Each structure stands twice: as C-alpha cells, then as structure tokens.
Amino acid sequence: MRLRIPAWLLALVVSMTTLADPPVVAIVIHGGAGKLDPKTLTEESAKARHAALAQSLRAGHAILQKGGSALDAVQAAIIVLEDSPLFNAGKGAVFTSAGRNELDASIMDGRTREAGAVGGVTIVKNPILAARAVMEKTPHVLLTNEGAEAFARDIKLPLVKPDYFRTDHRWRQLQEWKKKKAESGQTFLDDKHADYFGTVGCVALDAKGNLAAGTSTGGLTGKQFGRVGDSPIIGAGTYANNATAGISCTGHGEFFIRYAVAHDITAKMEYQKKTLAAAAREVVQQKLVKAKGRGGIIGIDAKGNIVMEFNPPAMHRGSIDKKGKLTTAIFK
C-alpha cells in the first residue's frame, strides 16, 4: 500500500524548508589601534595593509563557510596576520627596551569557556598555535617564557630563531623611542611615546552558534623586558561567551588589564542587558577615555552582530558580516 502525501502538505514542507534561516556565520579582525597620521601612510602601504586584512578574513571565513569551528577560523585568521611583517604580532613584532622580541597570545572558546595563552615567547613562530595548545593539551590557562617555549618544543610546534622576528622598521622604531626617551626622560607609559599600539585579533561565530576570540601581539615598543600586557590575559585582552559575545582588544594593555575590558563588555551585556554596541561604546569611549587609556575592541554577539569600537584616530580592522559582505578600514 502506497502512502500518498497530499499536495498541500508537500507544498507546506517545501515552503518551510525554503523559509528556514541559513546558519549565521561572521568574522571580524583587527590589526592594532593607535595614533597614525594618514599623511604618513603611503598609498602602497595602505593597499598592502588592506590586502593583508582581507587575506586574513578570507582565511577564517572559508573555514566557517565549510561548517568549521569558530576556534579554527580565529586561529587561521590570526596566523595570516602573525606571518605578515605589517602588524605587531609574530613576524612584525616590536622590540623591547633590551632589543628583544617577546610575544604574547591567547584564545578562548565561548562554548566551554576554556582558554589558553602564552606570554614572553621568543622562538615560537605562531604564538596563537601555542596558546591553543595550552588550552587543549594542558590543564593550565597561561604559560610564559622558557616554560611556554619548552612546551611548544615538546609538542613540536614550528620554532624559529629569535632573529626571524626582526624587521628593519621595528628596529628603527626602537631607536626612535630611545631617542625620545633620552630627550624627555619619559617612558613608554607616557602619552607622547604611546603613539601606536599594535596587536592583532579575531572573533568568529560559527554555524553551530559558537563564538571564539583570539589575540596576538609583540607588545609595546620599548617595553621593559619581561612585561606582559593584556593580550594573553583572559578577561582583559580576550574573552568569549556564547551567551553574550566574543571580544578581542588592542591598545595600552595596562589599562585594559586594570579595567578588565573584554570581560566588562560581556558583563554589561549579561547583567545590564545592554547590546554589544552599547556596552562597547560605554567601556571604550567613556571608561577608558576617562582613565586616559587608548585603544579599541572588536566583537561579535550571539546573533552575529559585529562591533569595532576604538578611541584613537586609527584601528586596522575588517569583517565579513552575516550577509557575507567583506569590509576593511584603517581610519575613522
């Protein structure tokens, strides 16, 4: 006996399938916020930066389109930026006052609230890989310096000689910083010398509704060797919670640590029921500005809404939103 399905029922099923919303995916990145004069940025340099941002976005978004995880997308996007000499992370990291490159990174899973981070590494080619390995292969959250490097060596992550991270323009920045310091007696914490903060970061939302965030940096030019900023500090420079948002920060790290910026934004969403945009605006444009802390954040909420909020003149940034539109920008 054949079961005959009425035509109207078939039509209803087809209609419901057609009307069903496709899975929402989105990705946002930053390449650092700070003081950058458009007049000093050549057309060639601007094109190169926009191209690198777009390459990073496409690397992460391709994973999301195939049903991959937000964690994998964040990692892929950040690796592109770490491998570029244009940004203050990985290959393009700045120098400490002692003339070393010391790198920090972190990553967080919004579904499980698990996280991993490394600080002060000097031979790990892609610190974001080490951060994720700390999350997935150890019971810890943060490993630093020689301990982090020994761990990376044990699990056979790609290692390089310290001079791999040396670039001429970053070395010149250090010499300029030393000259300014000698002339004025000020430190890197002073406003006149905190002209540009690097750091790269990414937040992604995958088709399963999971958020992830990651951040990687070389820190501040002229920083005291051994200094660790906000980038590897969960809740300060990186945070992700499926119930609220994923956040990655860039800026003057000491302020982001003291004000727990990444977590504060998500807390305002959770407890005060603020939107991501409203929470980010309050923290970045009011709290940080009042404290004289400069920088910015990128974020995605559980619905795929993207925010890129910053208070200095510039922040390298880009996104592919839930409609698939790719945009990159540097200045306000």
The average confidence (pLDDT) of the chain is 92
- Fold for domain 21-331? Glutamine Phosphoribosylpyrophosphate, subunit 1, domain 1 (3.60.20)
Q: 171-221: per-residue pLDDT in tens?
A: 998 998 888 888 877 655 454 445 556 799 999 999 999 999 999 999 988
250 is catalytic: no
Catalytic residue among 96, 122, 199, 266: 199
Mean pLDDT, to the nearest integer, of 64-88?
Answer: 97
Q: 210-257: per-residue pLDDT in tens?
A: 999 999 999 988 899 999 999 999 999 999 999 999 999 999 999 999
Domain ranges of the chain: 21-331
Q: 274-291: per-residue pLDDT in tens?
A: 999 999 999 999 999 999
pTM, 2 dp: 0.91
Q: Three-class SS string for the chain?
A: CCCCCCHHHHHHHHHHHHHCCCCCCEEEEEEEEECCCHHHCCHHHHHHHHHHHHHHHHHHHHHHHCCCCHHHHHHHHHHHHHCCCCCCCHHHCCCCCCCCCCEEEEEEECCCCCEEEEEEECCECCHHHHHHHHHHHCCCCEEEHHHHHHHHHHCCCCECCHHHHCCHHHHHHHHHHHHHHHHHCCCCCCCCCCCECCCEEEEEECCCCCEEEEEEECCCCCCCCCCCCCCCCECCCEEECCCCEEEEEEECHHHHHHCCHHHHHHHHHHHCCCCHHHHHHHHHHHHHHHCCCCEEEEEEECCCCEEEEECCCEEEEEEECCCCCEEEEEEC
- pLDDT at residue 105 above 60? yes
pLDDT of residue 2: 56
Mean pLDDT, to the nearest integer, of 160-167?
Answer: 96
Q: 82-104: per-residue pLDDT in tens?
A: 999 999 999 999 999 999 999 99
